[in-house]
Structure formats: C-alpha cells, structure tokens
Amino acid sequence: MKLSKSMFIVALFLLLVPVVFSQEASCGNKTVCGVYFTGIGCPHCARADPVVLEDTIQEHPELIVIEYEIYQWGMNAPLMYYYDSYYNSGFGIPNILFSKDKKIVGDYPIIQTVGNMVNELKYNPCPLENGSSVDFSSLNITQLPGHPKIWAHNKVLIWSGGNGNDSLLRNLMLCDEPASILKGVNHSEVAVEPVPLSGGSVSFEHAVKVGGWILEWNGNPISHGGECGCNSENQTGLGGWFSGPEVPSAGAGLTLPKIISLAAVDAVNPCALAVLTLMLLAILSYNPKDKKRVLLAGFAFTFSVFVTYIFYGLVIIKSFQLVQALTSFRLILYKLLGAGAFLLGLLNLKDFIWYKPGGLFTEMPLSLRPTVKKLINGITSPKGALVVGFFVTVFLLPCTIGPYVIAGGILSAIGLVETLPWLLLYNLVFVLPMVVVTLIVYAGFTTVKDVSGWKDKNIRYLHLVEGAIMAGLGLAMFMGWI
C-alpha cells in the first residue's frame, strides 16, 4: 500500500513530536534549583561550601545553586529575612533552601543529606520570596538582587555590577560548551580568578565578561568551542528571584548562649568584685549608719563600670573589624579567638589547682593592689565611687577582660551599630553581681566583710567555673563545633 505525500508528513510528525518534547523536558524541567546562604570566614560554612558548591554540583549535573554570601557582601544578608518569613528557614548559615518542606541548616546536616535530597527531588523549581516558585524558562537573571553567584556543572556566573541579556545568560548556563555560544556574541576575556569559598576557593580554566556578569568555566576555550548539546544527562537550569526593600541584618552566626556564657565568666571576675567590696567597706567605715550612701555608691560604681565597658567593647569590635576587612582572615581570626579562650580557661583552671594571688590574665596584679586600696580608702561619697569605677575599668580591668575580647571578636562579624544590643546584654550580665552585692549589703542580709570573706574563701572555685566555661567554649570554637 502506497502512502500519499501528506500521510507520510503526518506520520513523520507524529514520530518526531515525542522526541522533541522529551528533549525539551530534559533541558528545561529536569533541573533542581536551590538557594544557598553562606559567609566567607564562617567556620561551619568552611565545611559545607566545598560539599555544596563543588562535590554535589559535580555529582549532580542537574543541580543549580544560587549562592548569596552575607559576610563579604552585606547587601545579601537582608535577603535571609524575606525567605525566613515564608519558609521559616532561619538566619543561621550555612543554609540551603529548595522549598517550604525541603531545607537544610547547618554544616553537618548539609554534608550528610544534601546529595540525597537532590536525588529525591529530581526536579525542583526555584523558590521565590512570596512562597511560590518559578522554572528556568521564566527567569530574569538580570533582576536578581544583591550580589549573586550562580553555580552549575563546571561553571559559575557572577554578578559584577551591571545588566545583561537574560536569554544569553540562560543559554550559557544550560550549555555543555559555553564557548560555542560565546563565539557569536559580544564579550571580553578577563583574567581567571579563584572564586572564594569559606576557607578556600574554586579555580576554573576560562573566564569572560558578558554585560554585567562574569562567567568562569572548565572545558573548551572559545577558539575550540564545540556544539552546544542538551540532554538529560548533563543539563542544568536556573531559577528566579525577587527584589524588595532592604531590612536590617539579623546578625547571622551569633548565638545567645555563646555571648551570655562569656559575659557570665566575666561577671564573676574576682578583680571587679574585690574592688567593689573594698569600696563599700571604705564607705561603711566612714559612716556605718548611712546605708543609703552605700546603695548610691554601689550603683555609681556599677554604672561607671557599665558605661566604660561599653566603650571598651566598641573599641575592641572596631579593631577586629579593621582586621576583618581582609575577609580571608575571618576564619583564621575565629580560630585564634577560640585558641585564646581555651588558653584563658587553662590559666583559670591552673589557679584552681595551684592558686597564687595575682595570676596572669586572671586577677589584678599584686603590684597594683596597694595603689588601688589607697585610692579606695579615700572614697566617702557616691561621686568618688563613680570616679573609681571609671579608673578601675580603664586602667586595671584590662588585665582580666579576656572573655570580653573573645566576645568582641565574635560580635565583629556584624555591623558596629548592630552590636549595641549585644553589648548592652553582655554588660548587663557582667554588672549583675555588682548590683546584687550592693543590694544585699544595703538590705542588711549580709555585711561587706562577709561578702569579701566569701569571695576569698571561694576564690579557687570561682576560677574553676571560669576555667571550665572558657576552656569548653574555646575548644568548641576552635574545632568549629559552635
């Protein structure tokens, strides 16, 4: 039976349609898109970044990761707020998000489960800020806010401050051989620079600038670019994003227990408690019946220490931030802070085992004690207590503010203004024992001599508590457990 020409064309069309649609599905829809928040210098990110941005992407060519680094590029940090409001993804980093039900926060959870999650998803559109999602075919890459990096198999696309052609950028990320597309478009070759990760970097073989974006990739150079193929084995896709007003950063990376524990260690500082009790004793000796003067003097001393300590904290944080302008130093700094905390802990534990007054970095030096005692004995008013509080904080307490230095280093990861609530909290915890001692003496529950005697009797145990907390916290920071 002979087929007419029209019947032959119809039959051929019916045979080709499934192939065409199957090919289109593999290129446009068989992609897994995720949003990844990280920070250069974050010790937890240093473990997760290579797994997400190197290993998993190479093992799963269908995976696309849009990375937002929030330490070096502060403009990216507010984006976490929008995603948390719809996905409850939190402000911790590292953080990778696929959908409302598929998100992973923390280094060890990411390392252990991200590959399996990509396998389970098989296809995933990119999550948007309003809780919806969009496929690659609807993406406007040039409208992405902040400073994004878009990672795909053997390539990365980096925003460099300008616009571009959305269709071209999509094709470059989808194509096995970007060089074949670049042959026919306007571009400029640029120096290949390692793409930074937390604790390392990723190197590529070629780099070009296309509009306001830089593409780096491995494979053929432009002069030898082959045909751009598309199949289900090696295609990737991209997802959309959103734009919106910036909101204050949530201070990602900080933890309340970490700051409070450091403040608690500082609060039981034998040096500050000794100065306070000596001062209250001097005032009571001058006028033993005037309890109101004791109350005002104790509060004046505490207020003076509080205000001066706030100033100290701002200076410490600003100093660390100047160092951290070299963002590659962040991870090293965090480990140094951990090592410093661990060393301070060991020194306090030494004072518990082999106690000797005036220990290095743990108590007021013995050579300064006669001068301080002479100064305190001359105090007869709250105004004098205010001056002594300032004097002690400026000239003497720096010998024993190790925990404050550690806290300042941790707080330096966020903006100077954003540190104020944390500094207020730290210093409220720090001066709490001073307030308590003042109140119990004023109320008559105990005497200054009893407080001083209790401190002297339990000095070794105070050092034990300080040492255990500081050593444990320092070890955890150095090892990257917290």
Q: CB–CB of 320/410 below 8 Å? A: no
Q: Are residues 437 and 373 in the same domain?
A: yes
Go through 297-326 and write b for each residue having 16 or more CB atoms within 10 A of its CB, e for each that does not. bbbbbbbbbbebbeebbbebbeebbeebee
Q: Which DSSP symbol is given to 195?
A: E
Determine the average pLDDT of the residues in 352-374.
Answer: 68
pLDDT digits (tens, 9 = 90+) for 304-344: 889 988 988 888 888 777 765 555 566 676 677 778 878 87
Determine the average pLDDT of the residues in 453-479.
Answer: 74
Q: CB–CB of 246/71 below 8 Å? A: no
| Average predicted confidence (pLDDT) for the chain | 76
Q: Give the residue, 43 or 282, on which the prediction is more confident.
A: 43
Q: Are residues 206 and 297 in the same domain?
A: no
CA distances from 201 to 53, 63, 177, 194, 459 (A): 10, 20, 23, 6, 48
The domain boundary, picked from 204, 224, 244, lies at 224
In DSSP terms, which residues pair with 213 in a beta bridge? 159, 210
Residue 178 inside a domain? The answer is: yes
pLDDT at 176: 81
Residue 122 inside a domain? The answer is: yes
Q: Which DSSP symbol is given to 392?
A: I
Q: CB–CB of 297/280 below 8 Å? A: yes
As a whole number of Å, the end-to-end CA separation of the chain is 78
Q: What share of the chain is helix, strand, coil (3-state, %, to 5)?
A: 55, 10, 30
Q: Are residues 191 and 324 in the same domain?
A: no
Percent of the chain scored above 90 by pLDDT? 20
pLDDT at 328: 52
Q: Are residues 408 and 472 in the same domain?
A: yes
Residue 237 inside a domain? The answer is: no
Nearest-5° angle of CA 383, CA 386, CA 392?
A: 140
In DSSP terms, which residues pair with 214 in a beta bridge? 158, 209
pLDDT at 244: 34
Tell me the three state secondary structure of residue 288. Answer: coil
State yes or no: pLDDT of 223 exceeds 60: yes
Residue 302 inside a domain? The answer is: yes
pLDDT at 180: 85
pLDDT at 334: 67
Tell me the three state secondary structure of residue 388. Answer: helix
Range from 19-23, 36-40, 71-75, 180-184 that averages highest in pLDDT: 36-40
Q: Give the residue, 283 or 184, on which the prediction is more confident.
A: 184
Q: How, if at all, do strands 103-105 and 126-127 pair?
A: unpaired
pTM of the model: 0.55
Tell me the three state secondary structure of residue 233. Answer: coil
Q: Are residues 316 and 199 in the same domain?
A: no
> For the residues of 5-73, what is the DSSP string, one character each?
HHHHHHHHHHHHHHHHHHHHHHHHTS-EEEEEEE-TT-HHHHHHHHIIIIIIHHH-TTEEEEEEESSS-
Q: Which DSSP symbol is given to 219?
A: S
Q: Give the residue, 452 or 443, on which the prediction is more confident.
A: 443
pLDDT digits (tens, 9 = 90+) for 106-116: 899 999 999 99
One-letter-per-residue 3-state SS of 247-281: CCCCCCCCCHHHHHHHHHHHHCCHHHHHHHHHHHH
Q: Are residues 290 and 209 in the same domain?
A: no
Q: For residue 445, what are the contacts with CB-CB under 8 A and spacing of at least 6?
A: none
CA dist., res. 381 & res. 385, Å (int): 7
Q: Which of 87, 91, 100, 83 is nearest to 39 (CA)?
A: 91
Q: Are residues 173 and 268 in the same domain?
A: no
Q: Are residues 263 and 200 in the same domain?
A: no
Q: Are residues 448 and 303 in the same domain?
A: yes
What is the domain count for the chain? Answer: 2
pLDDT digits (tens, 9 = 90+) for 248-264: 333 434 678 888 888 88
Q: Which of 343, 323, 344, 255 is nearest to 41 (CA)?
A: 323
State yes or no: pLDDT of 297 exceeds 90: no
Q: What does the radius of gyration of the chain's CA atoms come to, in whole angstroms?
A: 31
pLDDT at 14: 47
Specify the CATH number for the domain of residue 143: 3.40.30.10
Q: Are residues 365 and 435 in the same domain?
A: yes
pLDDT at 242: 30
Q: At 229, give phi and psi (nearest 5°).
A: -100, 165
Q: Are residues 185 and 315 in the same domain?
A: no
Residues in the chain: 482
Q: Give the residue, 145 or 29, on which the prediction is more confident.
A: 145
CA dist., res. 242 & res. 340, Å (int): 42
Residue 12 inside a domain? The answer is: no
CA distances from 74 to 148, 240, 324, 339, 349 (A): 12, 21, 13, 27, 40
| Burial (0-12, 13-18, 19+ Cβ within 10 Å), 374 | exposed
Q: How confident is the model at residue 283 (pLDDT cuts 50, 70, 90)?
A: low
Q: CB–CB of 375/388 below 8 Å? A: yes
Determine the average pLDDT of the residues in 209-225.
Answer: 86
Q: Give the residue, 234 or 160, on which the prediction is more confident.
A: 160
Q: CB–CB of 212/159 below 8 Å? A: yes
pLDDT at 225: 59
State yes or no: pLDDT of 55 exceeds 90: yes
Q: How, if at all, do strands 206-210 and 213-217 pair?
A: antiparallel
Determine the average pLDDT of the residues in 387-400.
Answer: 67
CA distances from 311 to 30, 307, 308, 396 (A): 56, 7, 5, 15
Q: What is the domain range of residue 268?
A: 256-479
Q: Are residues 171 and 41 in the same domain?
A: yes
